[in-house]
Amino acid sequence: MNPTAPDVPDVSPAPLSGQMARFALVGAVATCAHYLVAIIAVQNINVYGANLAGYLAAVAISYFGHQRFSFQLSAGEISHRSQFPRFVLASLGGLALSYLLLAIMENGLAAPHWLSLAAAVCLVPVYTFVVSKLCVFRVSSSD
């Protein structure tokens, strides 16, 4: 048996846990950048424009950070034409999921705000990681 056979996928948990740790780190950096850009921008523009500027900075950091660092795609595996639209859809899906969770928890279950927000903050990153790994940054011959 050849241990270096390329057709045998690595199913050990180590690569997955490394991806998850890198994903969390990129997310933390993007969140800090969002806040920092917004705090600086709010000195010159209204809070909504400042938040948008921060959000756009965070999107850029997240997209490139997850692509190159979290999932460690090589230059040949990168396709902005297919990956960026999927990233935007995944991001909007995460936003929609957070609002859905809040609506269910707040209106359906009458949960306290802290619990509703905690559920959204904990579950949306899990969704985002799974969608990013399986869809957004997947590498296939059609990309």
Q: What is the pLDDT of residue 5?
A: 45
Angstrom distance (rounded) from CA 106 to CA 97: 14
Radius of gyration of the chain (CA): 18
Q: What is the block-wise mean pLDDT of the chain (143 residues), using blocks of 10 residues?
A: 48 72 94 93 91 91 94 91 94 91 92 89 91 89 54
Which among 128, 122, 130, 120 is positioned nearest to 16, based on CA atoms?
A: 130
Which among 90, 47, 55 is positioned nearest to 70, based on CA atoms?
A: 90
Q: What is the pLDDT of residue 82?
A: 92
Tokens 């990233």: give the residue: 87
Q: What is the pLDDT of residue 47?
A: 87
- Would you tell me how many other CB atoms lie within 10 Å of the CB of residue 51? 17
Angstrom distance (rounded) from CA 113 to CA 92: 22
Q: What is the pLDDT of residue 10?
A: 45
Q: What is the pLDDT of residue 9?
A: 45
Give, in order, the Cα–Cα distances in Å from 73 to each of 29, 30, 78.
19, 19, 6
